Amino acid sequence: MKIDIIGVGSLGLLLAGKLTQSGNEVRLWCRGIEQCRQLEEGGLNVSYEDDRDPISISGDRFASAPIEEFTDTYLREPSDWIILTVKQNTLHNALPEILSPLKAERVHIICFQNGIGHMEMLRDLLPKANLYAAVTTEAAKRKSLTEVIHAGAGEVWIGKWSVENGQAHIIHTDLQANYLIEVLTMAGFSAFLSNEVDTMIYRKLLINAVINPLTAIWRIPNGELLASEGRLQLMRELFREATMVYDACGVTYDEDGWDNILEVCRITAGNISSMLADVLASRTTEIRWINGSLIEMAERTGTSVPLHRWICQLVEGIKV
């Protein structure tokens, strides 16, 4: 399968390594020329925290180029799937201009972002596209511009984003999506089609809205959130406000949603959240599309979310 991966962070590198290794033709679209150069010269590397052998892929087994060259290349030589693994910030600020020449194309795009709001943006930008949302629990830590550690095997859930009601759902006869699941499975991922990806997206949003900003502000790994009653109290309050918003918007969530968050902290105890990773690398965070989206939902329904407002301002104030 010919696959374009736009965004070569931890997840992009992980997907690229495994998909190339299993025989697919992968093109990587990077944000900086330096990353393209390093990938071309030194290839890419996926390693593990246990004693499994790393995957090393030489630079001649895949293509890499700056993101700005993507659309011209795609129009000359289309791929089967475009995988978007850029952060929300790039997706909203850089991709509209880059992708707009594809507005008449029936491209297949799959989005792996945390947070919400991007599917609607892409739907408006690319009305003919086949849009899919993915939710993953794979844990990947980037070591350098070309190296990633596969820190924990998770699952990948994929659903088609329907035009009618803005909800992700699966079409079982969707050959292209079935083919992608097959290809991901052959690459070693536990990948599934789901008719509940929208529910999963909101479940993940709840988890990210509690874990990510607090770990970013306190600069602690996820497991450290459980270390004191004071921390748990703030987490609980963020969770309570978020569920009030969900109730007001008619978004369903698991009865054991709070326990799920505690469980994620335990399972990913040693991990640096994606938001803390952004803060440590002086990158813009995804707070606007995580807690900021909850605030927008709260505004639409007249729900009061003072802690989410404060937390947004605190995180946004880290990078000036």
- Which of 24/222 has CB closer to ligand PAF? 222
Q: Which of 217, 224, 231 is nearest to 285 (CA)?
A: 217
Question: CB of 102: closest distance to ligand PAF in angstroms?
Answer: 28
- Which of 9/17 has CB closer to ligand PAF? 9
Question: CB of 22: closest distance to ligand PAF in angstroms?
Answer: 25
Binding site for ligand PAF (CB under 6 A): 114, 207-208, 211-212, 222, 264, 268, 271, 273-274
| CA dist., res. 289 & res. 113, Å (int) | 10
* Helix H or strand E segment including 245: helix 229-249
- Which of 79/268 has CB closer to ligand PAF? 268
| CA dist., res. 90 & res. 209, Å (int) | 20
* Residue 188 burial (C-beta neighbours within 10 Å; 0-12, 13-18, 19+): middle
Question: CB of 138: closest distance to ligand PAF in angstroms?
Answer: 10
Is the CB of residue 272 less than 8 Å from the CB of residue 212? Answer: no
Question: CB of 277: closest distance to ligand PAF in angstroms?
Answer: 7
- Which of 107/311 has CB closer to ligand PAF? 311
Please name the residue that has the structure tokens 């600020």. 93
- Which of 30/211 has CB closer to ligand PAF? 211
Question: CB of 271: closest distance to ligand PAF in angstroms?
Answer: 5
For ligand PAF, the nearest residue by Cβ is 274
Q: Which of 183, 240, 184, 185 is nearest to 209 (CA)?
A: 240
Question: CB of 274: closest distance to ligand PAF in angstroms?
Answer: 3
The counts of H helices and E strands in the chain are: 13, 13
* Helix H or strand E segment including 193: strand 190-193
3-state secondary structure of 120: helix
| CA dist., res. 198 & res. 144, Å (int) | 33
- Which of 175/281 has CB closer to ligand PAF? 281
